[in-house]
Amino acid sequence: MKANRQPHPATIAAQGLGWTDGATGAVVLPIQPATTFIRDPDNQYRRGRNYGRADNPGYDQPEALITALEGGAASIVLASGMAAATTVFRALPLGAHIVAPLVMYHSLRRWIASWAAEGYIAADFVDMTSLDALRDAVIPGRTRLVWVETPANPLWSVTEIAGAAAIAHKAGALIAVDSTTASPVLTRPIEHGADIVMHSATKYLNGHSDVIAGSLTTARDDEFWQKLVAGRGSGGAILGNLETYLLMRGMRTLHLRVERACRSAQLVAEAMTRHPNIAQVLYPGLPDHSNHAVAARQMQGGFGGMLSIRVKGGEEAAIATAARVEIWKRATSLGGVESLMEHRASIEGPGSPVPTDLLRLSVGIEDPQDLIDDLDQALGG
């Protein structure tokens, strides 16, 4: 009997959209390493591909899957999350005004600031949890892009995408959302009015800490989107064949991993609120997080696998706690199967707005009690 409804996204992801290899019937598509494609005798390229930089057949399935999961019109995969983000900024007209969050993924914030310092764009950084602050910052007719990250590194502040989209669109700007930490399992920004969704696919989409990749998804296949597609092809920030294959494999378990990470992160966050050596737990799933209400409306199925803890005793105590963990791995990055802990201010370096007593935790898929017990022994007290 045929199902008379669309399969759940978890089904679509697990089966990679149900694609099989036409030549062999294989349920996994082969890696196609060709860099060039045969031209027809009459000088045409009827099969639609000519050179591997722009036309990699391996991209078709992961791009179609990301598009389906995000509810978009089209997607592209790129060499990294940074490549994806910078492709968007590079496609803006010279001198365009953009608004980005004050607190966000630090490498991108620095890149935007330096791109602005070189005169390519004009950038304002605002508290993106305040729609009033965003409204004050946009310049109607001049602002071309509002950049949102939600939940945002490393305080896990949540921006109301629908409100931000309305402000951006009224000013004549596009809104792009870095949805890396939510993943399409928890938030589909296009449904809330976003024009572009960006992922560091290095994180939850791949999920195994073994691929650097990025993706962009568009709500509409329009002129700006075609600039982004051309920006990847001619800019050359393409994803390698093995990485593309691994990303596709990783995405098949996306829902399992994200659901588990969310459940465990909630348990870890709740346990940490009771710990005597913790000054504050930052997790949007906690009722006392300043953006909990927005998160509860906007995120579905959980509040993500990322949280931060502020350790009593300041920087020294935070670094000493990180030194004592045995199950958590002391490493940067997020969204992998293994749980990671990092002293965030150390990785961001001088000028970081991050409190020096803050440890950023990426909750993986291990047994949650093991994670809590390890934190307890590392925190002491």
Ligand X SMILES: Cc1ncc(COP(=O)(O)O)c(C=O)c1O
Active site residues: 53, 105, 178, 203
Looking at the Cβ atoms of 171 and 202, the one nearer to ligand X is 202
CB 115 within 8 A of CB 164: no
Q: Which of residues 317-346 bind ligand X (CB under 6 A)?
A: 333-334
Binding part of the chain for ligand X, among 2-10, 76-84, 113-121, 323-331 by CB under 6 A, reads: 76-84
Residues 3-32 that bind ligand X (CB under 6 A): none
CA atoms within 13 A on the CB side of 109: 20
SS3 state of residue 108 = helix
Considering the rule CB under 6 A, would residue 225 count as an interface residue with ligand X? no
Using CB under 6 A as the binding rule, the residues of this chain from 154 to 173 that contact ligand X are none
Return d(Cα 272, Cα 216) in angstroms, integer. 35
**Closest Cα partner for 309 from 298, 318, 301?**
318
Q: Which is nearer to ligand X, 200 or 280 (CB)?
A: 200
Which residue among 82, 138, 146, 182 contacts ligand X (CB under 6 A)?
A: 82
Q: What is the largest CA-CA distance in the chain?
A: 78
Q: How many CB atoms lie within 10 A of CB 210?
A: 13
Q: Does 206 bind ligand X (CB under 6 A)?
A: no
Task: Give whichever of 183 and 218 is closer to ligand X, judged by the CB atom.
Answer: 183
Q: How far is the CB of 199 from ligand X (least distance, A)?
A: 8
Residue least distant from ligand X (Cβ): 81
Among 55, 63, 70, 178, binds ligand X (CB under 6 A): 178
Of the pair 72, 154, the CB lying nearest ligand X is at: 154
Which one among 200, 209, 217, 264 touches ligand X, defined by CB under 6 A?
200
Q: How far apart are CA 279 and CA 289, in angstroms?
A: 14
SS3 282: strand
**Token digits of residue 77:** 């995969």
For position 56 contacting ligand X by CB under 6 A, the verdict is: no
Any contact of residue 215 with ligand X (CB under 6 A)?
Answer: no
Tell me the window of 53-61, 157-165, 175-183, 272-280 that interacts with ligand X (CB under 6 A).
Answer: 175-183
Q: Are 304 and 261 in contact, with CB atoms under 8 Å apart?
A: yes
For ligand X, which residue of 143, 180, 339, 362 counts as binding (CB under 6 A)?
180
Applying CB under 6 A, does 105 fall inside the site for ligand X? Answer: yes
Rounded Cα–Cα distance for residues 32 and 41 (Å): 23
Indicate which single residue of 75, 87, 129, 153 sits in contact with ligand X (rule: CB under 6 A): 153
Task: Based on the shown chain and the rule CB under 6 A, indicate whether residue 266 belongs to the binding site for ligand X.
Answer: no
- As a whole number of angstroms, the distance between CA 277 and CA 375 comes to 11
Taking the complex as a whole, the smallest distance from the CB of residue 81 to ligand X amounts, in Å, to 2
Smallest gap from Cβ 114 to ligand X, in A, equals 15
Residue 205 lies near ligand X (rule: CB under 6 A): no
Q: Rounded to whole angstroms, how far apart are CA atoms 354 and 136? A: 24
The answer to whether residue 214 forms part of the interface with ligand X (CB under 6 A) is yes
Distance CA 282, CA 24 (A): 50
- Please give the Cα distance from 204 to 46 (Å, whole number): 36
How many residues line the site for ligand X (CB under 6 A)? 16
Minimum gap (Å) between residue 172 Cβ and ligand X: 26
What residues line the site for ligand X (CB under 6 A)?
80-82, 105, 108, 149, 153, 178, 180-181, 200, 202, 212, 214, 333-334
